[in-house]
Amino acid sequence: MTKRLLAVPFSTVLMLLAACETQQRADLATNSTIYEGRPYVAREPGDRAIYVLPVADGRSAVEPAAGQDGFPVAYDGDARWDRPVDAMVAEVLQRELIDSGVFSRLLDEPDRCELILRPTLTSFVTGAMEVDTGGRSLAEIGLRIEIFGPQEATGQRPLLHDQVYGDRQMSSPALLPPSSYLMAGRALRMTMAQALAALDKNGVARSLPSPLAPERLLQLGIPATPAAPATPASPAK
């Protein structure tokens, strides 16, 4: 008797292996196997507080290409995660902002005298590619960061920063490649590192002029306390 074998797409095999590889929840914010936090540390702690709006989903409705370089790609879809993608990214973003020290603190509600950060998810894609030598796991994440300054007399807030940060990860071809969960964690970690480094460097998190400790002022040759102006001598009588 001839036995018939059930043909299973290789991309399906990769998804099953991914489920075994990450036994905990499929959650970027709570599963340290997927997202291994390596907190960015600010060069100098920021002195401005900020309110972070919920992450908006600004992804294109257009389906990604069904293949790359002539090889088929099977995309996972958001339903594969245990929580909404924007909620996981929002939790990671807030945690990284707190741990980095780029801003002095995160506010529970907007303050007219402080900053507001508006994050928008521009890309979040994970999947598996079938190649001649096995498979490759992939992930791509894009996050737009807008920061608005204190409220002006007109009631409007000036835009101080607007930039999209992102990263794309793809594993090497292998019979048993790492899961796309792990690729997503790496891509998000790189995205966060890019954003925090840029915000730290451009000074948006610090008041102008940037405050320095008295000893730093003295090292730079600046008097810690400005000298009082000389009193004009009284005219001789």
Q: Is 233 a domain residue?
A: no
| Largest interatomic CA distance in the chain | 130
11 belongs to a structural domain: no
Asked if residue 160 belongs to a domain, the reply is yes
Q: Where is average pLDDT lowest: 42-46, 59-63, 99-103, 173-177?
A: 59-63
Tens of pLDDT, residues 144-198: 999 999 999 999 999 999 999 999 999 988 888 999 999 999 999 999 999 999 9
- Contacts with 100 (C-beta within 8 Å, 6 or more apart), sequence order: 39, 40, 41, 42, 196, 200
Spatial contact of 185 and 191, defined as CB atoms under 8 Å apart: no
Phi, psi of 48 (to 5 degrees): -115, 135
Q: What is the DSSP letter of 169?
A: E
18 confidence band (pLDDT: 50, 70, 90): very low
Q: For residue 108, is it within any domain?
A: yes
218's enclosing H/E stretch is helix 214-219
Show the domain range for 158. Answer: 26-219
Total structural domains within the chain: 1
Instruction: Share the mean pLDDT of the chain.
Output: 83
Give me 86's structure tokens. 């924007």
Nearest CA to 11 among 80, 83, 58? 80
The pLDDT of residue 19: 47
Q: Which tens digits make up the pLDDT trace of 69-104?
A: 777 788 999 999 999 999 999 999 999 999 999 999
Peptide bond into 211 cis (omega under 30): no
| CATH number where 39 lies | 3.40.50
Asked if the structure places residue 84 within a domain, the reply is yes
Asked, for residue 193, whether it belongs to a domain, the answer is yes
87 in a domain, yes or no?
A: yes
Alpha-carbon distance of 236 to 180, in angstroms, equals 87
